[in-house]
């Protein structure tokens, strides 16, 4: 990585693993236990890419103490892990794609809104962390997407200029965060259709999975 001049930065949920439906289901169950009902599609579109603590404050009120927010977030995430555990798997073609990128000298990172336990649940328990030079999560930045903080921190840790980074995302808030970071984006349509990203001028590829795109094709678009 020391001589890398370009980087691929991956969101995790919905981009490395196809798990966003389980996040939505766990959020809806969490709020249903508190007498709050939301439309699943609208909830996903409004929250995908945001940090859990941001979602909790928006839906439950801004005056809840930080320690209570932390406990509530742990409850929701435990529910998510219980729901998703039997289904965990990398998206089709992912490991072959990152191996090909690494072989071509591309620096690799994860930049996610997930908390530490969920990162371990996905990257470590699926043995995927070994592919990445650095992993940046919700605990490492103050603001979640669409703020660019998590992507900029990943680029900084890799030592790569933002203009030489391609972000892999599945949600509009994540693509907007990449745009604000000055980065191009490749979209994985694991949870939303291609037309949901038509307004973004930083999107250079839209695919269903990693078998549909080659490292060379993406690098050429930088």
β-pairing verdict for 7-10 and 134-136: unpaired
**Three-class DSSP category at 139:** helix
Question: What's the rounded Cα separation, in Å, for the pair 139 and 161?
Answer: 23
Residue 212: other Cβ atoms inside 10 A: 14
Is the distance from CB of 186 to CB of 167 less than 8 angstroms? Answer: yes
Q: Tell me if residue 127 is catalytic.
A: no
Please, what is the Cα angle at 145 between 140 and 146, to 5 degrees? Answer: 145
Question: What's the rounded Cα separation, in Å, for the pair 122 and 134?
Answer: 15
Catalytic residue among 11, 13, 149, 170: 11
Could you list the beta-strand ranges (E) of 43-99: none
Helix (H) or strand (E) holding 107: strand 107-111
Please, what is the Cα angle at 176 between 174 and 180, to 5 degrees? Answer: 115
List, by residue number, the catalytic residues. Answer: 11
């Amino acid at each position: 990585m020391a001589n890398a001049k370009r980087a691929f930065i991956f969101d995790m949920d919905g981009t490395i693993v196809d798990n966003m439906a389980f996040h939505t289901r766990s959020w809806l169950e969490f709020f249903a236990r508190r007498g709050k009902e939301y439309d699943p599609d609208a909830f996903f579109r409004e929250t995908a890419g945001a940090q859990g603590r941001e979602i909790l404050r928006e839906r439950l009120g801004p005056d809840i103490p930080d320690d209570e927010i932390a406990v509530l977030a742990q409850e929701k995430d435990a529910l998510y892990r219980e729901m998703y555990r039997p289904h965990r798997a990398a998206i089709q073609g992912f490991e072959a794609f990152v191996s090909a990128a690494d072989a071509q000298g591309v620096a690799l990172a994860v930049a996610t809104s997930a908390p530490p336990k969920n990162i371990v649940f996905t990257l470590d328990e699926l043995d995927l962390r070994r592919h990445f030079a650095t992993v940046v999560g919700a605990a490492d930045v103050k603001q979640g997407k669409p703020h660019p903080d998590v992507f900029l921190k990943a680029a900084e840790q890799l030592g790569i200029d933002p203009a030489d980074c391609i972000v892999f995302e599945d949600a509009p808030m994540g693509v907007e965060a990449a745009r604000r970071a000055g980065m191009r984006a490749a979209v994985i349509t694991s949870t939303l259709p291609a037309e949901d990203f038509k307004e973004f001028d930083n999107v250079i590829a839209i695919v269903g999975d990693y078998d549909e795109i080659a490292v060379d094709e993406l690098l050429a678009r930088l």
